[in-house]
Amino acid sequence: MKHPHFSPNTHIFLWDLHEVILGKSMWNWFMSCMRFKHKEELVSRLDKKTIKIAFIFLCEKLKLTKKQMVSEELIKAAQESNNDALIELIMNVCTSYSPIQKTVAIMQ
């Protein structure tokens, strides 16, 4: 069945385990955090468990620890503490990856 929004040449990547197709940009992450409009709500709903998971998540993304952490763990903690603002920020940051141009050229 054809999807109405995608042409036959549309490529959708569901998983990029080793960051070979999409690259993270710490600058984009930082700017997403700085521009986030619901900071007060986010902070007011933080609990110790969520702070601990967020810290590990950030350290893993900055390659300061070898502990593996996926965004779903942080989202689950945010859901448990009813922190919709944190969920929104996580989604903004995790979708701020951009294509690695050399990999795109190879795929084309």
Residues 91, 72: Cα–Cα separation, whole Å = 10
What's 98's DSSP letter?
A: E
Whether residue 81 is predicted with pLDDT greater than 50 in this model: the reply is yes
Residues 51, 61: Cα–Cα separation, whole Å = 15
- Please calculate the CA angle 55-59-60 and round it to the nearest 5 degrees: 115
Q: What percentage of the chain carries pLDDT values higher than 70?
A: 81
Question: How do residues 38-57 score in pLDDT, each as one tens digit?
Answer: 999 989 989 998 888 888 88
Q: Are 42 and 83 in contact (CB under 8 A)?
A: yes
Global pTM exceeds 0.75: no
Residues 38, 24: Cα–Cα separation, whole Å = 23
pLDDT band at 37 (very low <50, low <70, confident <90, very high): very high
